[in-house]
């Protein structure tokens, strides 16, 4: 919507930093917004926020992120190398001042990265009424919608693949359990049959009957063990 305010959200992993010391460690954040120093597992501080703001500014101007790849490892390699550009035609109408600010915000070395105070004094920010285009960038909105649609489509495909795989595994387990149950039922019927015949059988055959019953019970035990193993 034209004139709508931009709001930043999702600060669940945010921490309050006192001073300018680079004393924080930890791998946390949204992949496309992580800074090179975080990916390198170096100590970091406030400059990581400037990097993230540079990514956001890039997206706001053209509707897609500076770093993107389906493979997360390749995405991280792009970020650590600072491998982004300003492709045509989306960036043809963006001012050099805006590109310069992004370059300073997406500087790989955090010590050389522009600070928040310096960014607020940048010509593109200070003279935005004359330097920054006041024209509503509808093409940026359309690009952002398309990019989000691709992300949602990818998520839906991955979810479908996961559900299908789980269903297939569950069906195999069900079939295995059914087969084991059928085997157990047959063994139980054999036991009942042998026990019913026990009183009518001749004495010399008693040992054979006992052996058959023991074998059937062992079969039941083995079947239960197999069933339990398959259902883990």
Question: What CATH number labels 31-135?
Answer: 1.10.510.10
Q: What is the chain's pLDDT, residue by residue, as a tens digit (232 residues)?
A: 566 677 888 788 777 777 777 777 777 788 999 999 999 999 898 999 999 999 999 998 888 999 999 899 999 999 999 999 999 988 998 999 999 999 999 999 999 999 999 999 999 998 876 655 555 555 656 666 766 665 555 566 657 767 777 766 666 666 665 555 555 565 566 555 655 554 444 444 434 443 444 444 454 444 444 333 333 3
Residue 212 burial (CB count, 10 A): 16
Q: Are 227 and 181 in contact (CB under 8 A)?
A: yes
Q: Is the pTM of this model over 0.95?
A: no
Q: Are 215 and 183 in contact (CB under 8 A)?
A: no
Element (H, E) at 178: helix 138-198
**Which residues contact residue 25 at a Cβ distance below 8 angstroms, ignoring those fewer than 6 apart?**
41, 43, 44
**Domain extents for the chain?**
31-135, 177-230
């Amino acid at each position: 919507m034209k004139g709508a305010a931009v709001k930043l959200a999702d600060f669940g992993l945010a921490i309050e930093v006192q001073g300018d010391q680079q004393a924080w460690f930890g791998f946390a954040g949204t992949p496309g917004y992580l800074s090179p120093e975080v990916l390198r597992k170096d100590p970091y501080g406030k400059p990581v926020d400037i990097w993230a703001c540079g990514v956001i500014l890039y997206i706001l101007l053209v509707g897609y992120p500076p770093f993107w790849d389906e493979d997360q490892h390749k995405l991280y390699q792009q970020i650590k190398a600072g491998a982004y550009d300003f492709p045509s035609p989306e960036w043809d109408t963006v001012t050099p001042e805006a590109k310069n600010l992004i370059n300073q915000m997406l500087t790989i070395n955090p010590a050389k990265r522009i600070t928040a105070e310096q960014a607020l004094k940048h010509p593109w920010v200070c003279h935005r009424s004359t330097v920054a285009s006041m024209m509503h960038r509808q093409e940026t909105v359309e690009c952002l919608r398309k990019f989000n649609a691709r992300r949602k489509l990818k998520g839906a495909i991955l979810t479908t693949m996961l559900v299908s795989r789980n269903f297939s595994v569950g069906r195999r387990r069900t079939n295995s359990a059914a087969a084991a149950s059928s085997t157990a039922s047959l063994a139980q019927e054999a036991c009942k049959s042998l026990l019913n015949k026990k009183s009518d059988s001749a004495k010399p055959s008693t040992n054979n009957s006992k052996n058959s019953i023991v074998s059937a019970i062992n079969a039941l035990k083995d079947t239960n063990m197999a069933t339990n193993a398959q259902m883990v």
